């Protein structure tokens, strides 16, 4: 059986790396295709070096653009690859433009699609990721779910339950595999000269927070207020960095603004942060797995288990709520949280078992 695995952006790599390895160890062919949606060394290449992922057999080099341009470039380029490689299944991960584009190509070629990290819903269709999630799930034959809310969401959208498999979180497989070596790098000391548990870590890149000068100024003001009581480390996504420069905010930053970090350095910084402030999806899950308090600078989350069981709290861009939460963290008044079921480092193994069974039952001879 040949499972064509696809990646395109930074968060895809840690979700797909353990899956590729697990499939290969079951004797399933798992060639990797990179759409090239992310292309900076720090956003792409460095993850291949660190995660021990096989090199992609092809990089489609689609790069940046509007949503339509980016999606369309993946459609055209990936169709050709899919025709040439004749996979039995195309595997996509997460909720980015590359995810939905690869899924659509495969579905139109009558090739079954498997979706890693299926079923998450923010119920906010103004987020491009929400549109990508819904479309991808409805194109998929095998839906691999990370948390129980995903089962409910998919069932309520009428997706047959025999397609849905709660396997856990493959991104947390990568975290568990790398946590020791990440912490051993002591990146808080090496990169920013700080003490463990004595700093806050911030990541902000969502268009609604960074593309509009007023919103970005508001975010920076809030982080500046936090920085009055605790050093704030801010590894900036290229999009955020460009906006900070475009809007002339560089001088206003009382923060440790640094370039995007490789996986291990970022994981180490996150593990030893006192608190994390983020608008990312994956970071909400990683802090829950690590038991590190997380303030999510959004009004909603597609990952409710991180709030119900983990260490996450939704604070939006409410400065009072954020400062109060930071004080609570430093007063030791924060839920310890528990790690959700099946975020145990074995999700990729379970996913491969499902695929083996699916292949064995002749499903792939479509
Ligand atoms: C994408 C995903 C988002 C995910 C994020 C993780 C979509 C719709 N969004 O957002 O869900 O959380 O990746 O990082 O797919 N850029 C570079 N170098 C790069 C990549 C991007 O400089 O290697 C800059 C470019 O200016 C580009 C901008 O970042 O225009 C946005 O990149 P894009 O891939 O469109 O979306 P992200 O914001 O990265």
Ligand 1 pocket list (CB less than 6 A): 9-11, 37-40, 43, 64, 70, 95-97, 128-129, 205, 237-239, 242
Q: Which superfamily is assigned to 177-330 in CATH?
A: Glycogen Phosphorylase B; (3.40.50.2000)
pLDDT (tens, 9 = 90+) of the chain, 366 residues, equals 999 999 999 999 999 999 999 999 999 999 999 999 999 999 999 999 999 899 999 999 999 999 999 999 999 999 999 999 999 999 999 999 999 999 999 999 999 999 999 999 999 999 999 999 999 999 999 999 999 999 999 999 999 999 999 999 999 999 999 999 999 999 999 888 999 999 999 999 999 899 999 999 999 999 999 999 999 999 999 999 999 988 888 877 888 899 999 999 999 999 999 999 999 999 999 999 999 999 999 999 999 999 999 999 999 999 999 999 999 999 999 999 999 999 999 999 999 999 999 998 877 654
**Which residue has the least CA distance to atom 20 on ligand 1?**
38
Task: Report how far ligand 1's centroid is from the alpha carbon of 99 (Å).
Answer: 13
Task: Tell me the best of 7, 8, 237, 278 to mutate to test the pocket of ligand 1, counting ligand atoms within 8 Å of each CB and taking the most.
Answer: 237
**Would residue 67 show up in a list of annotated catalytic residues for this protein?**
no
Give the chain's end-to-end CA distance (angstroms, integer).
Answer: 12
Ligand 1 atom nearest to CA at 239: 29
Task: Report how far ligand 1's centroid is from the alpha carbon of 239 (Å).
Answer: 7
CA distance 38 to 40: 6
Instruction: Give the residue extent of every domain in the chain.
Output: 3-169+343-360, 177-330
Domain 3-169+343-360 sits in CATH at 3.40.50.2000
Are 6 and 78 contacting, i.e. CB atoms less than 8 angstroms apart? yes
Strand order in the sheet with 142-145: 58-59, 32-34, 3-7, 89-93, 113-118, 142-145, 164-166
Q: How many CB atoms lie within 10 A of CB 361?
A: 9
Overall pTM > 0.85: yes
Q: Do domains 3-169+343-360 and 177-330 have the same CATH topology?
A: yes
State the residue for tokens 């799930």: 137
Task: Report how far ligand 1's centroid is from the alpha carbon of 74 (Å).
Answer: 14
3-class secondary structure, 59: strand
Burial class (CB in 10 A: 0-12, 13-18, 19+), 336: exposed
CA distance 128 to 325: 29
Q: Kindly report the backbone phi and psi dihedral angles of residue 30, in degrees, each rounded to the nearest multiple of 5, phi listed first.
A: -135, 65
Contacts of 213 (CB under 8 A, 6+ apart): 243, 247
Handedness of CA 284, 287, 288, 289 (dihedral sign): positive
Q: Kindly report the backbone phi and psi dihedral angles of residue 152, in degrees, each rounded to the nearest multiple of 5, phi listed first.
A: -65, -45
Task: Report how far ligand 1's centroid is from the alpha carbon of 353 (Å).
Answer: 33
In this structure, what token pair is assigned to residue 303? 């990952």
Are 9 and 98 contacting, i.e. CB atoms less than 8 angstroms apart? yes
Which of 113, 109, 115 has the alpha carbon at shortest distance from 96?
115
In this structure, what token pair is assigned to residue 201? 């870590």
Contacts of 99 (CB under 8 A, 6+ apart): 6, 8, 12, 92, 93, 115, 132, 136
**From the candidates 38, 205, 237, 256, which is the catalytic residue?**
205
Are 116 and 352 contacting, i.e. CB atoms less than 8 angstroms apart? no
């Amino acid at each position: 059986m040949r499972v064509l695995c696809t990646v395109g952006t930074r968060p895809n790599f840690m979700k797909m790396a353990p899956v590729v390895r697990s499939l290969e160890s079951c004797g399933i062919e798992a060639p990797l295709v990179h759409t090239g949606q992310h292309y900076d060394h720090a956003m792409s290449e460095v993850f291949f070096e660190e995660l021990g992922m096989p090199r992609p057999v092809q990089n489609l080099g689609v790069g940046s653009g509007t949503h339509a341009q980016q999606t369309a470039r993946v459609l055209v380029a990936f169709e050709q690859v899919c025709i040439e490689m004749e996979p039995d299944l195309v595997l996509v991960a997460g909720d980015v433009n590359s995810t939905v584009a690869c899924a659509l190509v495969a579905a139109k070629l009558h090739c079954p699609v498997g979706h890693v990290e299926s079923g998450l819903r923010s119920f906010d269709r103004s987020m491009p990721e929400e549109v990508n999630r819904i479309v991808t799930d409805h194109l998929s034959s095998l839906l691999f779910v990370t948390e129980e809310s995903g089962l409910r969401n998919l069932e309520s959208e009428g997706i047959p339950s025999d397609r849905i498999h709660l396997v856990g979180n493959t991104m947390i497989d990568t975290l568990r595999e790398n946590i020791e070596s990440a912490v051993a790098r002591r990146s808080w000391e090496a990169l920013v000269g700080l003490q463990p548990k004595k700093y806050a870590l911030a990541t902000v890149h969502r268009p609604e927070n960074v593309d509009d000068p007023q919103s970005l100024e508001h975010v920076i003001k809030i982080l500046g207020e936090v920085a009055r009581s605790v050093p704030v480390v801010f590894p900036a996504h290229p999009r955020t960095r460009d906006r900070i420069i475009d809007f002339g905010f560089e001088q206003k930053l009382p923060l440790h603004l640094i370039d995007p970090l490789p996986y291990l350095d970022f994981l180490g910084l996150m593990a030893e942060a006192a608190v994390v402030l983020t608008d990312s999806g994956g970071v909400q899950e990683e802090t829950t797995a690590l038991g590190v308090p997380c303030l999510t600078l959004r009004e909603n989350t597609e990952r409710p288990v991180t709030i119900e069981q983990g260490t996450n709290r939704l604070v939006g861009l409410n400065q009072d709520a954020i400062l109060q939460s930071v004080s609570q963290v430093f007063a030791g008044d924060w839920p310890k949280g528990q790690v959700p079921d099946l975020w145990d480092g074995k999700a990729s193994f379970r996913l491969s078992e499902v695929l083996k069974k699916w292949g064995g039952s002749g499903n792939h001879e479509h």
